[in-house]
Amino acid sequence: MLHMPKYEKIWLAIGVGALAVFLIVTGFMGVSMGLNPPNGMETTMKSENVETTEPFNSPGLEKIGPNEYRATILSYTFGYNPNTITVPKGATVHFQITSKDVVHGFIIPGTTTNLMLLPGHVVEYTQRFNEPGEFLFVCHEYCGIAHQEMYGRVIVKDTV
């Protein structure tokens, strides 16, 4: 039998105890409190059919209610279609986004919008823009040599 020094046993017990506490807390939060990563990808289609499938065959911004909009965005290698969206201050924008080729990202710094776009998977997310200004959205998943050129803007105006 291998002899283990007293202090080594203590540190081993602390490590195992910390791991057990982490697993118990994570399990409790995930199961009983319902804190799980958001799915957000309920609709799928074949990635080669994205550009011919509604609503991605005509991406753009559509007014769906008072100060409420749906932004249908198609991501592709090194770009977004459309890459500029203009809404009034206080607008709620329901983003509906997919990729037609590879994994892309969609993040609007300074907001809670942070999405991963998989080919053929439709991701939906809602964001309210309370302050006027220009909000940059960028791809934060490396997608190739010109990845740094993949960006767009949400322009929020006092009035449209």
What pLDDT is attached to residue 37?
Answer: 57
Q: What is the rounded distance in angstroms from the CA atom of residue 102 to the CA atom of residue 95?
A: 19
pTM exceeds 0.75, yes or no: no
Give the pair of three-digit tokens for residue 12.
């081993």
What pLDDT is attached to residue 1?
Answer: 58
Q: What is the rounded distance in angstroms from the CA atom of residue 94 to the CA atom of residue 53?
A: 19
What pLDDT is attached to residue 87?
Answer: 94
Q: Label residue 155 by pLDDT band (50, 70, 90).
A: very high
* Inter-CA distances, 142 with 39, 91, 135, 148, Å: 21, 30, 21, 9
What pLDDT is attached to residue 36?
Answer: 57
Q: Identify the helix (H) or strand (E) that includes residue 23.
A: helix 6-31
Q: How many CA atoms lie within 13 A of 73 on its CB side?
A: 32
43-97: pLDDT as tens digits? 677 777 787 888 888 899 999 989 899 999 999 888 999 999 999 999 999 999 9
100-146: pLDDT as tens digits? 888 899 999 988 888 998 888 888 999 999 999 999 999 998 888 88
What pLDDT is attached to residue 160?
Answer: 53
Q: Which residue has the higher pLDDT, 159 or 78?
A: 78
Give the pair of three-digit tokens for residue 143.
């997608």
